[in-house]
Amino acid sequence: MRYTEIKDLYKFIFKSYDKPFLKEHIEKFIELDEYLPYSSTFFCVTNTQDLTFEYISKNFTTCLGLDANELKALGMRYFWSRIHPDDIDAWLSALNSLMTFTLEEIPEDKRKDANYTWNFRLKNSDDVYMNIVQNTTPLVFDSEGKPIIGLAHYTVLDPNIKMEITATAKLLNTNKEYETLFFNNFSQKLLNDGISHRERDVIRLLVLNQSSKEISKKLNISSHTVNTHRRNILKKLNISSTGELVGMLKMNQHWL
């Protein structure tokens, strides 16, 4: 997917018509940032309407080795250019689903109490894709009730951790505790896109611990063909073994 297409999709998700100004809010965040210790987290004030960062905390460079001034100057397009290509579709799907859920399921007067979390991989200054968990709280909404400016916290995790892309929406309840209202695993799209019907049949039987010989009899195909399907499935899903595939699917039966 080209980044011009990402821009169009992102702007569609966050399309709005207002021009809020957050000078006072940003000043308070800057004051707070001076006292925060260096850590594996950083925060930004994001403007999804202008595709800019209103403020970037000092830990951005500490976490990723990247130039905060460059990020401020180039905005979200530069940020997107560093997202792992394999994560882009799922990441956009997560954002779109969160926006749809917000507009359809959260009353407008409650949206100020909402909180959203999603994840992706981002390339640091050493060209290593780090796991990023983003947690965003909306600050300002447009005339349609869409969140357009938010306080985003980013937690940077080891690149060797295998993380599926998920999205969560939470809302403060009457006890002032965040209650999860929405959760979805967007990595499951891998079993919907690119997997043939015959490969899906093979997957279902593998989950039942069927051998290639048993699968060949049930599907009336040769064992050689079954093994070819197995290799193609692993390649398409970018996983290393049938055992990993079966374990993943047994934990997520709805993927089938």
Domain-wise residue ranges, the chain: 3-186, 194-255
Sequence-ordered strand ranges (E) for the chain: 41-47, 52-56, 114-123, 129-141, 147-157, 166-172, 178-185
223-232 long-range Cβ contacts below 8 angstroms, 24+ apart? 226/202, 229/198, 229/199, 229/202, 230/202, 230/206, 232/199
Instruction: Tell me the angle at which helices 242-251 and 223-237 cross, rounded to the nearest 10 degrees.
Output: 70
- Note the pTM of the prediction, 2 decimals: 0.70
Residue 218 near residue 226 (C-beta atoms within 8 A): no
Q: What are phi and psi of 201, to 5 degrees?
A: -60, -45
What is the three-class DSSP state of 217?
A: helix
Question: What is the per-residue DSSP string for 99-119?
Answer: HHHHHHHS-GGGGGGEEEEEE
Helix (H, G, I), strand (E, B) or coil at 198: helix
Beta bridge partners of 52: 47
Dist CA 229 CA 223 (whole Å): 10
User: pLDDT 10s digit of each residue in the chain, 256 long?
Assistant: 566 777 777 777 777 766 666 667 677 778 888 888 888 999 999 998 889 998 999 999 999 999 999 999 999 989 999 999 889 888 988 998 899 999 999 999 999 999 999 999 999 999 999 999 999 999 888 888 888 889 999 999 999 998 989 999 999 988 888 899 998 888 765 555 577 878 878 887 887 788 999 999 989 899 999 999 999 888 877 777 777 777 666 655 444 4
Domain covering 3-186 in this structure, CATH number: 3.30.450.20
Q: Contact at 8 Å (CB) between 168 and 95?
A: no
CATH of domain 194-255: 1.10.10.10
Q: In angstroms, rounded to a whole number, what is the distance separating the alpha carbons of residues 51 and 4? A: 13
